Amino acid sequence: MSTVTLEMPESVFAALHLGKVEFTKKLRQSAATLWYQQGLISQERAAEVAGLDRTDFLQRLASEEIDVFHVDFEKLEQELNY
């Protein structure tokens, strides 16, 4: 695994009421969720980025009311008509 170092103003931690460890956890989970929503990474990869197993990642998506599965309704309609 690679390490990435970010510089953050101390005021960010105070504004979010988070310590550095909790901030890092939330940042990873937020990035994973966003990249998954955008279709850039799979559920499995997103769970890995988030530091969660796949089930916990899916539960996180559900708790935030984020669609777990991407459905292309146009393609679905084409398949149903085929």
Region 2-30 average pLDDT: 92
List the structure tokens of 46. 């997103």
pLDDT at residue number 11: 93
21 pLDDT higher than 90: yes
The predicted pLDDT at position 73 comes to 82
Which pTM value belongs to this model?
A: 0.78
Strands (E), the chain: none
Model confidence band, residue 69 (pLDDT cutoffs 50, 70, 90): confident
Show the tokens assigned to 79: 């398949």
| DSSP designation for 69 | S
**Residue 71 neighbours by CB under 8 Å, 6+ apart:** none
Per-residue pLDDT tens over the stretch 25-62 = 999 999 999 999 999 999 999 999 999 999 999 999 99
